Every structure is written in C-alpha cells, then in structure tokens.
Amino acid sequence: MSQSPSGSAEHVLTRRGLLRVALLSAGATLAAACSQPTPPVTNAPPTSAPAAAPTQSGAAPPAGAPTQAAAAPAPAPTQPGSSAPAQQAPASSTGPVEVSFLTTQTNDADVKIYQQLSDKFHQENPNITVKISATDGTNYDQKLLTYIQAGTLPDIVQTSDNFAKPFKDAGVTQDMIPYAQKTNFPYMDFDPTFLNLGMVDGQLHMLPKEGDIILPFINLRMAQEAGVSPPTDFDPAKNPDGWTWDDFMNMCKRLTVDANGKHGDEDGFDRDNVAVYGASMSIDAWYTYVPAVLANGGTFVADDLSHSTLNSPEGVAAFKRLTDPVIQGYWAPLTLIQSLSNQAGNVFAAGRAAMAPLQRLWCTTLRASLTDDFDVLHYPKGPSKRITGMGTFGFALTAKSKQPDAAWQFLTWMYGEEGMSIITASYAAVPAMKRFYDSSFWRDLPPPPHSNAVFVDSFVYGTTPPRLPFYSTGDFRQSVTDGMTAITLGKSTPEEVVANVDQVLNKYLKDQQSA
C-alpha cells in the first residue's frame, strides 16, 4: 500500500495514489465492505419501496475539478516524546452554529433517517443545526479533496475501513480520541473488530455506524412447503460442531424446485429448468469466497500482505464448493444475479430463491417487497471452522471542520441510545456498540425477521477483509468473477481459476510494494 512521505512538511496525495488505496464506494458493510441492495429489474415488487434499504454511494467531482490533490496542511507540532501530532482539545461551542454532515447513502429512506436524526437533535439542542447532504460516492475521495482545496470540507463525512488511512494521510479526517476522552464518550465500547477498522496508527478515524455480518436469510413459506425445518434456534456456542455445510447443502437441495415441481433431492430433477433455487449466493464477492477459503482450512493472503496464499488444496476446494451447487442447479447462476442489479438479495426478494446470505440492512427491502414471512440463520460450519464475512462503514470528524465541537456533540448523540433507536428502527442496522447488543429498541421490533439475536451472536465468527481494495476493484475482482463464471459454464476448472487468481493477486501485491 502506498504511503504518504514521512518527515516532510506536507502530505501530497495524487488522484492516482488515493484511488490505488481507496474503495470506489464508502457504503458497505461489509463492509465493509459489503454489497448493498439496489432495485431489481424484473416484475418483482421494487426494492426502492418506501422502506428501501440503502444503495451504494458515489459522485464524480464537480466539473472542472483538478485531478491533482492539494497539499494537506503541515502537521501540527508533536507532543513531547511522541511522533503523533498534538491534538487541540475540543472547546465548547457557543451561539447558533450549523454543522455540515455528508453521507454517500443517497437512497431516500436513508436520507430521511439522517434528517430525522438532525431534527430530533436540533429539538434538544436549539443552538445547533445539522445540515444533511447526500452525494453519490463515485470518486468520493476526489470530491472531498476538492472540498479541501475550496475550503468547503464538511464537518462530518462518511468513511470506511479502506478510506480510513487515505483520509488521515490526506488531511480529510482527524483523530477523534481526544474528543472522546474529553467528553467521556465510550468509544472503547465498540466491538473491537469494528473499532479496529477505523484505527490508523493509534488514532481513531471512523466511528462504526453499524455491525454488518453476512447470514443466511430463509423464506419460511418455501421451507414449510418443502417440509424443511430451518434451525432458527441453533446456538453455535452450545453446539459448535452443529449446523454444518453439509446440512446447509441438503437444505438447499430440498428447497430447490424445478418447473415440474421436482425438488433438487428427487429423481428426475431438471437442473436446466429451475423455478426456485435453494439459494442465491454472491460467489464472486469477497465476503463469500474469502470466508470459504478460511472455512476450508486455507489462507488467502500473507499476514504482511506481501504475497497470496490462495493457491492451495484448501483454496481449490473452496472454489469448487462455491461453484458445484451452481453447476448442479441448486444455486442461482451468476447470470441471473447479474440481471437483477448484480445483487443476490434481489433474487431472494423476487421469490426466485429460498435462501440468500445477506446483511441485516436487507430486512428493510425484504419487508417492503417480499410478501412471505422470512427469518435469519447462523452461518453453517465449513470443513475446518464456522466463519462468514463482516464489516462496517461509519462517520468521522474532518480535520478542516469549522464547528468541531458542535459536530462532535452531534456524533456522540447519534451514537447514543436516542440516535441508535432512530437508526435501527428501519431494520437496516445492528448496533456496533456492545452496550446496545441486547437493547429492546432493535431486538423487539415486530418480525420479520424473528431471530434477532443471531445478528450479534454471530460476530464471534465473522472475519473482515484485508485492508486492500483488491477484492472490489480492478483486475483481481474481474479475475474472480470471470473465473467463477468460467467454472460454472464448464470452460475452466477450479484448479486453473485459483492458479490464475493467485497470479493476479501476487502481481497486485508486488505492484503495491514497489509503488
């Protein structure tokens, strides 16, 4: 990963340099890091219904914006005995002030939630007005850099794990630990996995908004009609070796139904004429294939990010495990998923699949578009371990904030019980702070889904991706998608695809080291 020059009076970040280390989207969960719902392009009920879940973010820079980023301000004097810049302690804001808040969640439902937060906060703090703005996130990093040049950087911006370091180095965000310490904000109460995604060089550059983890959603009507009893009450803490991948696949087969009414586990099943798939899986997404490799006992990349470790028997077995069900007709083909805005959840929402591993944020879309009852399950245990993808995005106080104290006051309120009650009321988020894991304001929302405990109980076996954009952009992502597709079409083998993906990843990592 490229780094800003150290020991100089300023940090210069070029457009190419920032794009090399930043994701093109600040939205997801999965996090990072995760896929977010977009409306399906079929006759299924639209997922952009009144309670629709957030779409991915991004906006191009204003016309005429320079492609070379301006130099960030010179580092502040360092504290004695420390190489970190000294932080100015927050002061109390006085008089009427306006705080600017920028999100890349442009969906009307999401903007409405942030506006509701702003309005409620203003009622309790009449001297502070929070102005909510939403921008599409394409080239989002560059847009913020142009704001720095123009002196119009908002007080609060949306960020993610892959933006945390580039934004720090570019002077977009500032360390929020001094503010937290001065105001006794319990930032250490964030789940450590999510908190660490915003930590850079011992500084806090992102407050995680929510905990996103990929779990199987299941259509309860389809399960009942197939005679399937989904393990909605399964507890991996009590039975760590239960609910296995084989159990999951047997359920997928039974839930798959062809056009003649034959189930996938019955003689005469026509895999080329499927009406309802047992599952819809984003097999070319990092949060599916990275955990699959780990669940098989393999590794994906060296701890120091120096080279790929994917090309192994375990890696090959994982790719085979993800493509065989598509070939056999039990999982939705990539072509169907791609036709529905490239979202596996849209296949499930349209009633074309009985299960789909998704984040909680899909609950909003499903409640608006799926007429059937649904619930959520723990992720099945692989041959070696139980593991699934997880991540988050969040918000940060900017280094150029004109109203840092008022902005911090709003952030602490938003991450308090009142704010989190508003955020989670839409079914689109799970609190990332441990003190809210058992809170009734989100646990007791009317079903569906019914099994809300699973959303936080599963955090113990979630994994986040390496802090590199290789899994979502460029040649590597394309090599995975093309390779998975080739396997399912019989044009390549898992061995060949894994070897090629490994080669592409090694080239990427080598380029990063020499950059």
Last-in-domain residue among 391, 411, 436: 391
Mapped onto helix, strand or coil, the DSSP state of residue 237 is coil
Are residues 129 and 53 both part of a single domain?
Answer: yes
The confidence band for 80, taking pLDDT boundaries of 50, 70 and 90, is: very low
Distance of alpha carbon 355 from alpha carbon 230, whole angstroms: 11
Mean pLDDT of 305-315: 95
pLDDT of residue 424: 97
What pLDDT does residue 152 have?
A: 96
Euclidean distance between the first and the last CA atom of the chain, given in angstroms as a whole number? 7
The yes-or-no verdict on residue 18 having pLDDT over 50 is: no
Q: What is the pLDDT of residues 138-170, one digit of tens each?
A: 899 999 999 999 999 999 999 998 899 999 999
* Residues 254 and 356 occupy one common structural domain: yes
Residues 349-394: tens digit of each pLDDT: 999 999 999 999 999 999 999 999 999 999 999 999 999 999 999 9
Q: Is position 278 within any domain?
A: yes
**pLDDT category of residue 86 using cuts at 50, 70 and 90:** very low
pLDDT at 82: 33
Contacts 24+ apart (CB under 8 A), 43-47: 44/346, 44/349, 44/350, 44/351, 44/369, 45/349, 45/368, 45/369, 45/370, 45/371, 46/369, 47/346, 47/349, 47/365, 47/368, 47/369
Specify whether 234 is located in the same domain as 337. yes
What does the alpha-carbon distance between residue 254 and residue 291 come to, in Å, rounded to a whole number? 24
Is 204 a residue whose pLDDT tops 60? yes
Are 183 and 275 members of one domain?
Answer: no
Nearest to 370 by CA among 115, 51, 140, 101: 51
Note the pLDDT of residue 394. Answer: 97
pLDDT of residue 6: 26
- Per-residue pLDDT band for 444 (boundaries 50, 70, 90) equals very high
- Determine phi and psi for 513, rounding to 5 degrees: -70, -30
Question: Domain tally for the chain?
Answer: 2
- At 513, the pLDDT band (50, 70, 90 cuts) reads confident
How high does pLDDT run on average in the chain? Answer: 84
Average pLDDT on 313-319 reads 98
Task: Say if residue 206 is in the same domain as residue 220.
Answer: no
Average pLDDT over residues 89-110: 81
Determine the structural domain holding residue 195 and report its residue range.
Answer: 26-66+90-211+393-449
Whether residue 145 is contained in a domain is answered as yes
**Averaged over 93-99, what is the pLDDT?**
82
Query: Where does residue 418 rank: exposed (0-12), middle (13-18), buried (19+ CB within 10 A)?
Result: middle
366 and 229 within one domain = yes
Residues 172 and 40 in one domain: yes
Contacts of 111 (CB under 8 A, 6+ apart): 103, 105, 132, 134
Residue among 171, 251, 239, 241 at smallest CA distance from 205: 171
What pLDDT digit, counting tens, does each position of 33-51 carry?
A: 444 454 333 333 223 332 3
Query: What is the C-alpha to C-alpha distance for residues 68 and 447, in angstroms, rounded to an integer?
Result: 50
Predicted pLDDT at 465: 81
Asked if residue 504 belongs to a domain, the reply is no
- 56 with 133, same domain: the answer is yes
For residue 256, give the CATH number of its domain.
3.40.190.10
Residues 242 and 173 in one domain: no
Residues 314 and 333 in one domain: yes
Q: Assess whether pLDDT exceeds 70 at residue 192.
A: yes
* Pairing label, strands 462-463, 388-391: parallel
Q: Does residue 106 lie in a domain region?
A: yes
Both 220 and 353 in a single domain? yes
My answer on whether 365 and 400 are in the same domain is no
Classified as helix, coil or strand, 433 is strand
Residue 78 has pLDDT above 50, yes or no: no
Residue 102 has pLDDT above 80, yes or no: yes
> What is the arithmetic mean of pLDDT over 87-101?
68
Residue 30 has pLDDT above 60, yes or no: no
